[in-house]
Amino acid sequence: MDPGKILVKFRFEGDDKPQIGEFTYEQYDNLRALPIVLECQIVLNEQPTLTKEDMELINKKIIQACKTDKTHASKLSK
């Protein structure tokens, strides 16, 4: 795992099962604040289930969610 990264287990609305990915703490904090995230927690001793391509798709999903939810986007910019 990259230094400065943590493993995060999360699940979006509409997803059947949670995923595990490497995030910075700031990314984790932003992710768990999104209204489309139903589950989000830091985990230890688990293997990431996401590839780099998956992480790119998730970043796009997060960006789209921020555009849709202007309240959340303005909160993140503070």
pLDDT tens-digit map of 4-24: 899 999 998 999 999 999 988
* Cα separation, 59 vs 51, whole angstroms: 12
The predicted model scores a pTM of 0.75
CA distance 62 to 65: 5
Closest CA relative to residue 34, chosen from 15, 47, 53: 15
Residue 59 has pLDDT above 60, yes or no: yes
Q: For residue 17, what is the DSSP state?
A: S
In this structure, the number of other CB atoms found within 10 A of the CB of residue 39 comes to 13
C-alpha torsion 58→27→39→5, nearest 10 = 100
